[in-house]
Amino acid sequence: MSFPTYNTDKSTELFARATKVIPSGVYGHLGPAEGQFIPVNKWPRFSEKAEGSYFWDVDGNKYIDYMCAYGPNVLGYCDPDVDAAAIAQIKLGNCTTSPSKIMIDCAELLVDTVNCADWAFFAKNGNDVTQAAIMTARAHTHRKKIIFFNGFYHGVSPMVQKIDYPGVLPEDVANAIYVNWDDIDGLKQAIEENKGEIAGLIAQPYNHGNFNDNSISSKEFWQQVRKLCDDNGIILIIDDVRAGFRLDLAGSDHYFGFKADLICFCKALANGYNMSALCGQEFLKSTVSGLSYTGSYWMSAVPFAACIATINKLKALDAPKLFLEKGTALTQGLVKAGKEHGFDLIASGAPALFYLRIANDNSLLLHQDWVAECVNRGVFFTSHHNHFINASLSDEDINRTIEIAEEAFKVVAKNHPEIF
């Protein structure tokens, strides 16, 4: 079978219009400035509609979407059960002066579902809750310093950005301590050097950073981290914004066999309806109550209705098992197809959030070329970010993805005679 390349002229035209009135045209992670779409014209920049595993761009091209809106699409776009719950709630009210009682139902469901959760505090974006978690750790311990594992991404508030980023002041990150992943000796040393000054340690459940192969930490590593935090009065915060509900519905800390003090959720919570949640253990509830921290839309009812429907459906489907099976079938198929065409494709991280890299050259150029050829034939990957499996992805989608990937391998091999 052959897969013709897509025309993205309308996207290009719209992008030119957008850059006149919107900084970067499409800014942040959905736009081309983050180096995930190279060359840019092989990617769609605007979508027209979405359903299940697919979205269609403004030129009418259909994509099997492995970015899932960078995570929120967990059940499938426009999931009928989630949308029905949201529509029923919108008729009752959404952003109201007194919040809807559905907020309590939602908190109770999270407390029942998430292993370390005795309470839930709601906001909108992942950054809202990672920042709240750090503030909670500081308020509770009356200490300033926070440990981060290198390669982290916890959002965009200055306290979690890097010193050389525009607009970030040295004092914003003056209390940040950086340690390498899986480096228990480095962690011990950092704690020793800052004894009695460390409020919290914030970490993703494993290293799912961009531009590098992803690596899964061991349960032993996490046990040691937990013990070091306990011994030194450090609040252990798990940033499950990206991986949450994809590895384990009880939280990724549960998946790795430990209990976080605070856990941050966002992307998979409500299948695209806008909400995030900070959950945590009982001893921190009164500290969170004391924060000066709220937002205009944080207690809106529609996302709570969507969240309840999403979590119940994820449970009914045993979604983490599905994600593992589908992610494993897909990545094994891609790696095998690569091998058959002379490519050393490495799939790393959790299969539910697989990260891809062609390792034949160190420049990443070959990898970027292959990803672009896949995208331009209907498989939406990004160049240097982990991907996501959603529950509606079918075996047929997986097979078609592997066929398109094979064609892309052939094209790249032909374009790079110096390597093949």
Ligand X SMILES: Cc1ncc(COP(=O)(O)O)c(C=O)c1O
Rounded CA gap, 125 and 258, in Å?
A: 25
- Minimum CB distance to ligand X, residue 189 (Å): 25
- Nearer to ligand X (CB atom), residue 127 or residue 348: 127
- Nearer to ligand X (CB atom), residue 45 or residue 242: 242
- Minimum CB distance to ligand X, residue 246 (Å): 12
Rounded CA gap, 56 and 18, in Å?
A: 19
Handedness of CA 16, 68, 65, 376 (dihedral sign): positive
| Cross-strand pairs, 399 | none
Rounded CA gap, 117 and 265, in Å?
A: 11
- Nearer to ligand X (CB atom), residue 243 or residue 358: 243
- Minimum CB distance to ligand X, residue 285 (Å): 22
- Nearer to ligand X (CB atom), residue 242 or residue 313: 242
Q: Residue 181 gets which letter from DSSP?
A: T
Residues that bind ligand X (CB under 6 A): 70, 125-127, 130, 153-155, 204, 239, 241-242, 266
Rounded CA gap, 262 and 279, in Å?
A: 6
- Minimum CB distance to ligand X, residue 26 (Å): 15
- Minimum CB distance to ligand X, residue 144 (Å): 21
> Could you tell me if 406 and 58 are in contact, meaning their C-beta atoms sit under 8 angstroms apart?
no
- Nearer to ligand X (CB atom), residue 377 or residue 385: 385
Q: How would you classify residue 366: left for phi > 0, otherwise alpha for psi between -120 and 50, otherwise beta?
A: alpha
- Nearer to ligand X (CB atom), residue 266 or residue 404: 266
- Nearer to ligand X (CB atom), residue 125 or residue 194: 125
Query: Which amino acid would we find at residue 288?
Result: V
The two beta strands, 276-280 and 345-348, are unpaired
- Minimum CB distance to ligand X, residue 371 (Å): 19
- Nearer to ligand X (CB atom), residue 256 or residue 370: 256
- Minimum CB distance to ligand X, residue 72 (Å): 9
- Minimum CB distance to ligand X, residue 130 (Å): 5
- Residue 59's nearest CA partner among 13, 7, 3 is 7
| Cross-strand pairs, 262 | 237, 280
Max distance between CA atoms of the chain, in angstroms, equals: 66
Rounded CA gap, 310 and 85, in Å?
A: 9
- Nearer to ligand X (CB atom), residue 148 or residue 153: 153
Residue 47 CB contacts under 8 Å (≥ 6 apart), including other chains: 55, 56, 57, 58
Whose structure tokens read 């979604």? Answer: 319
> Could you tell me if 102 and 304 are in contact, meaning their C-beta atoms sit under 8 angstroms apart?
yes
- Minimum CB distance to ligand X, residue 250 (Å): 18
Q: Secondary structure of 157-175 in the HEC alphabet?
A: CHHHCCCCCCCCCHHHHCC
Rounded CA gap, 159 and 174, in Å?
A: 9
The residue sitting closest to ligand X, measured at its beta carbon, is 126
What one-character-per-residue DSSP string does 266-296 give? Answer: -TTTTTTSS-EEEEE-GGGHHHHHTS----T
- Nearer to ligand X (CB atom), residue 133 or residue 309: 133
Residue 189 CB contacts under 8 Å (≥ 6 apart), including other chains: none
- Minimum CB distance to ligand X, residue 34 (Å): 11
- Nearer to ligand X (CB atom), residue 154 or residue 226: 154
> Could you tell me if 326 and 388 are in contact, meaning their C-beta atoms sit under 8 angstroms apart?
no
- Minimum CB distance to ligand X, residue 20 (Å): 25
